Amino acid sequence: MLLEFPNKKIVIVSVPGAFTPTCTANHIPPYIERIEELKKKGVDKVLVLSANDPFVQSAWGKALGAKGNDIIFVSDGNAAFSTSIGQSLDLSKNGFGVRSARYAMIVDNNKVVYNEQEPGSEVTVSGIDAVLKNL
């Protein structure tokens, strides 16, 4: 999977799964609520990435109240993109298969300027405050 963003500043926020407790309650809602702060710092789009299929991703975005085109819920089918950059998570022992890890990335004109994966199950380096600090 190739992602290119010429002349754009993009934030990619990756989560292990849509509709999961941490992702739905703590991780993604602040990005939706504070989208204007991101835009003021020059962010063109926020991509919310998960290994779920596109239909689940779309339903999750609607359930969280994401409106417009500033936040796009994207499917990372089979965690192909996340695996290609070394940021996948094998949850096969739990019956979930390979998923994208919890991470955040800032891509400015096709250059990765921030890329941090959570060391545990908390939302710290991939949360909105860390991303805003690094824009």
What is the identity of the amino acid at 22? T
What is the identity of the amino acid at 112? V
Instruction: Report the chain's C-alpha Rg in angstroms.
Output: 14
pLDDT digits (tens, 9 = 90+) for 74-108: 999 899 999 999 999 888 888 787 889 999 999 99
Q: What percent of the chain has pLDDT over 70?
A: 98
Q: Is 23 an active-site residue?
A: yes
Query: 13, 23, 89, 123: which one is catalytic?
Result: 23
**pLDDT for position 81:** 93
Return phi, psi of residue 10, to 5°.
-120, 140
The HSE-up count of residue 58 (CA atoms within 13 Å, CB side) is 3
**pLDDT for position 90:** 86
**Does residue 9 carry a pLDDT above 80?**
yes
- Specify the CATH number for 9-133; select among 3.40.50.2300, 3.90.700.10, 3.30.420.10, 3.40.30.10: 3.40.30.10
List the chain domain ranges: 9-133
**Mean local confidence (pLDDT), 19-23:** 89
